[in-house]
């Protein structure tokens, strides 16, 4: 006899689908202090996450296990990345914007991040690092900020909303092992170089 307790894999995809189907009309509010609060329903977040996943796969060539970094505030677009990247089988790498620049550059290189999604207001932090980030192939910019800072130093630059525009709001999310990597972050490196910590879908 086999147990049937807890026989459903715990994945980020299941969290996303549960939110869309059971709480689809519930509002998620984010606010960074720069403008009016952003309000989106769980259904909208799910649809935009699907659009982001399509863009990452079809336009930027992101594949399973590729690392997609975020240098972002706690806003709606960051929530979308939190769902899109792990659910498509890739790994979300949240960058700590409080770390020294040299540690950030080391972390991105060590993780071999392929894409960085960045809030426009954080371009002054990212732009000087880009010449030292050989693994980064694409920079996706969300929200207002001085794009001229990226001239001559960034690889391919994309606008977040333009990437999403017109893409399908449904995605054929793959069936993932709950032990598969969903996200990673790095320690603060108080006794040496920062150490990468990988989180599974289940965790």
- The average confidence (pLDDT) of the chain is 94
- Tell me, what CATH number does 139's domain have? 3.40.50.12780
Q: For residue 189, what pLDDT is reported? A: 67
Q: For residue 6, what pLDDT is reported? A: 72
3-state secondary structure of 33: coil
Q: 184 in a domain, yes or no?
A: yes
Q: 68 in a domain, yes or no?
A: yes
pTM to 2 decimal places: 0.93
Q: 74 in a domain, yes or no?
A: yes
**Whole-number Cα distances in Å, 170 to 43, 48, 166:** 11, 9, 12
What is the tally of structural domains in the chain?
1
Instruction: With a cut of 80, say whether residue 168 has pLDDT above it.
Output: yes
Contact between 163 and 146 under an 8 Å Cβ cutoff? The reply is no
Q: 3 in a domain, yes or no?
A: no
Q: 108 in a domain, yes or no?
A: yes
Residue range(s) defining the domain that contains residue 74: 12-169+176-200
Torsion of CA 73, 159, 85, 13, to 10 degrees: 90
Candidates 67, 71, 108; CA nearest to 89 is: 67
Q: 7 in a domain, yes or no?
A: no
């Amino acid at each position: 006899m086999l147990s049937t307790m807890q026989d459903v894999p715990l994945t980020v995809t299941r969290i996303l689908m549960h939110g869309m189907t059971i709480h689809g009309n519930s509002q998620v509010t984010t606010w960074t202090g720069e403008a009016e609060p952003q309000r989106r329903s769980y259904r909208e977040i799910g649809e935009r996450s699907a659009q982001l996943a399509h863009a990452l796969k079809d336009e930027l060539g992101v594949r399973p296990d590729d690392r997609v970094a975020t240098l972002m505030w706690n806003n709606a677009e960051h929530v979308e990345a939190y769902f899109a990247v792990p659910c498509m089988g890739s790994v979300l790498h949240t960058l700590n914007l409080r770390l020294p620049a040299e540690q950030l550059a080391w972390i991105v290189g060590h993780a071999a991040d392929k894409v960085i999604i960045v809030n426009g207001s954080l371009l002054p932090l990212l732009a000087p690092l880009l010449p030292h980030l050989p693994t980064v192939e694409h920079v996706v910019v969300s929200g207002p900020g001085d794009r001229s800072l990226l001239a001559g130093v960034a690889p391919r630059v994309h606008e977040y909303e333009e990437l999403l525009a017109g893409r399908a709001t449904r995605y054929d999310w793959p069936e993932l092992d709950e032990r598969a990597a969903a996200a990673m972050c790095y320690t603060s490196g108080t006794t040496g170089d920062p150490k990468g910590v990988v989180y599974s879908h289940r965790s």
